């Protein structure tokens, strides 16, 4: 339902108006207009989604979400009014319908303004679009005079310029990440979660992963360990984590934020059960038992091996959770906020254990929200930031001291504040650093 339809339905009988506005010419107009803008034409026949796709053609995707929802609510309200016999109920729904109508009018003005920019025409076209889109759509769709300067996909990717411009050659040792994009389907279209992230991490390095809320840190880790595959090539010590996943899964340990342990089991039985999953088939029970004993010693769990998990302290639970993943003796160890809920002393002790693991020639990647209290234990830092399209991008990767110089900040928490959006209490400089890092990488 368009704004014009809504206005006419308020003052006139809507049946005839509906028949006219739902004519074949209207749908053909949107069909050809969408095709010109790089959107599949059949969306013209999809109620509510059509408004969203028009906004995509205009480079106004956020406004399209709102107009699509408002269109659905207006249709639902119109149907409800047909069944309401109570005068008071009719007045309430009528008032609600009017509010929806004028709210949608505001967002449609923004969409049509974007459409005139994309098609390079006068903004006076906004007026006929608002009140006679059933006429304007066929004109724009069928006339060769009206051609978009950018297509919908090009608009979406406009700010996703390649940062590094090349893939990094896979090494026989260490971790090589060439992530072109990680996408998801959201609200009828492909949404970029991560884009153009390339790096090489040497064995024996402990790496801090920084980024504000929603920058894609956990999504990035899931893409690296193969849990959520992206359009990427990730190699670890020469092995391809994606194409050789079954073989490589024992080489990667991933500790999520949530503790996945049964409270009624003892620490020893918890680790023995974990060994069934984390140790390759063919390893004897005696060998698994020996590995469990070794891991308990590494993480200081021997004194509580017979204690129930639910009776452990917070720090002991964290170490037990980490020990479960370390049983396979992975070459890459990834931890998502392992120090969450721990005091400074316990967090420091845990991070020192992870530093000792890295010193064995392994790669350790850690997310922590209190990096500065343990920053001396890290070799490198990965900084992910949301660009203006809210896509996770690489704003920096390298040694800690170089990061301080690059961002002009002494503390890592200040780095996060610099890249956070202003509405999130940050400085809103994410795009600045993304572009600067691009220049550095491209020489």
Q: Does some domain include residue 139?
A: yes
Question: Has residue 396 got a pLDDT over 90?
Answer: yes
CA distance 273 to 169: 38
| Dihedrals phi, psi of 216, to nearest 5 degrees | 100, 25
Per the model's pLDDT, the better-predicted residue between 206 and 289 turns out to be 206
Judge if 153 and 181 occupy the same domain: no
Q: How many domains does the chain have?
A: 2
Half-sphere exposure of 421 (CA within 13 A, CB side): 12
- Answer whether 361's CB lies under 8 Å from 378's CB: no
Q: Does some domain include residue 124?
A: yes
Residue range 260-266: mean pLDDT, rounded: 81
Question: Has residue 399 got a pLDDT over 90?
Answer: yes
Question: Has residue 170 got a pLDDT over 50?
Answer: yes
Question: Has residue 8 got a pLDDT over 60?
Answer: no
- Residue ending a domain, among 124, 157, 190, is 157
User: Strand, coil or helix: what is 189?
Assistant: strand
Judge if 57 and 28 occupy the same domain: yes
Judge if 392 and 279 occupy the same domain: yes
Q: What is the CATH number of the domain that holds 231?
A: 3.40.50.300
Residue range of the domain that includes 351: 175-441
pLDDT tens digit sequence for 274-323 = 888 887 777 788 888 899 999 898 888 888 888 888 888 888 888 888 88
Judge if 274 and 388 occupy the same domain: yes
Judge if 146 and 182 occupy the same domain: no
- Residue ending a domain, among 127, 157, 187, is 157
Judge if 384 and 412 occupy the same domain: yes
- By residue count, the chain amounts to 443
CA distance 96 to 187: 25
CA 322 distance to own-chain centroid:
25
Judge if 343 and 399 occupy the same domain: yes
pTM (two decimals): 0.71
Nearest Cα neighbor of 365 from 223, 262, 165 is 223
Q: Does some domain include residue 170?
A: no
Judge if 364 and 247 occupy the same domain: yes
- Answer whether 232's CB lies under 8 Å from 167's CB: no
Judge if 216 and 344 occupy the same domain: yes
Q: Does some domain include residue 54?
A: yes
Per the model's pLDDT, the better-predicted residue between 163 and 293 turns out to be 293
Mean pLDDT in the chain? 84
Judge if 144 and 254 occupy the same domain: no
- Answer whether 379's CB lies under 8 Å from 366's CB: no
Judge if 102 and 221 occupy the same domain: no
Judge if 272 and 189 occupy the same domain: yes
């Amino acid at each position: 339902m368009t704004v014009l339809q809504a206005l006419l339905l308020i003052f006139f009988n809507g049946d005839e108006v509906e028949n006219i506005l739902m004519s074949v010419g209207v749908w053909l107009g949107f069909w050809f207009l969408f095709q010109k803008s790089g959107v599949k034409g059949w969306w013209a026949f999809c109620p509510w989604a059509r408004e969203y796709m028009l906004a995509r053609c205009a480079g106004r995707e956020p406004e399209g979400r709102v107009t699509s929802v408002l269109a659905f609510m207006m249709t639902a309200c119109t149907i409800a009014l047909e069944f309401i016999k109570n005068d008071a109920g009719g007045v309430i729904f009528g008032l609600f319908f009017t509010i929806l109508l004028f709210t949608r009018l505001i967002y449609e003005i923004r969409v049509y303004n974007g459409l005139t920019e994309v098609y390079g025409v006068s903004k006076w076209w906004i007026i006929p679009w608002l009140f006679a889109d059933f006429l304007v759509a066929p004109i724009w769709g069928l006339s060769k005079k009206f051609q978009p300067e950018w297509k919908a996909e090009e608009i979406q990717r406009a700010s996703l310029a390649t940062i590094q411009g090349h893939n990094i050659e896979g090494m026989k040792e260490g971790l090589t990440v060439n992530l072109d994009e990680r996408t998801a389907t959201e609200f009828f279209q492909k949404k970029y979660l991560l884009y153009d992230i390339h790096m090489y991490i040497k064995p024996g390095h402990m790496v801090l992963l920084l980024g504000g809320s929603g920058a894609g840190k956990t999504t990035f880790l899931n893409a690296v360990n193969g849990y959520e595959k992206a359009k990427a090539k990730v190699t670890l010590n020469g092995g391809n984590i994606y194409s050789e996943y079954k073989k490589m899964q024992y080489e990667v340990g991933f500790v999520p934020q949530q503790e996945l342990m049964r409270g009624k089991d003892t620490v020893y039985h918890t680790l023995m059960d974990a060994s069934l999953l984390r140790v390759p088939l063919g390893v004897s029970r005696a060998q698994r038992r020996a590995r469990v004993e070794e891991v308990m010693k590494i993480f200081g769990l021997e004194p509580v091996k017979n204690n129930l998990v639910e009776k452990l302290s917070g720090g002991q639970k964290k170490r037990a959770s980490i020990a479960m993943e370390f049983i396979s003796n992975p070459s890459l160890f990834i931890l998502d906020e392992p120090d969450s809920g721990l005091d400074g002393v316990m967090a420091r002790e845990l991070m020192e254990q992870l530093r000792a693991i890295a010193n064995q020639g392994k790669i350790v990647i850690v997310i922590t929200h209190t990096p500065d209290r343990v920053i001396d234990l890290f070799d490198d830092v990965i900084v992910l930031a949301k660009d203006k399209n809210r896509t996770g991008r690489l704003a920096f990767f390298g040694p800690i001291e170089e990061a301080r110089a690059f961002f002009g900040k002494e503390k890592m928490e200040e780095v996060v504040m610099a890249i956070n959006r202003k509405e999130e209490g940050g400085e809103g400089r994410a795009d600045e650093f993304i572009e600067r890092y691009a220049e550095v990488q491209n020489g």
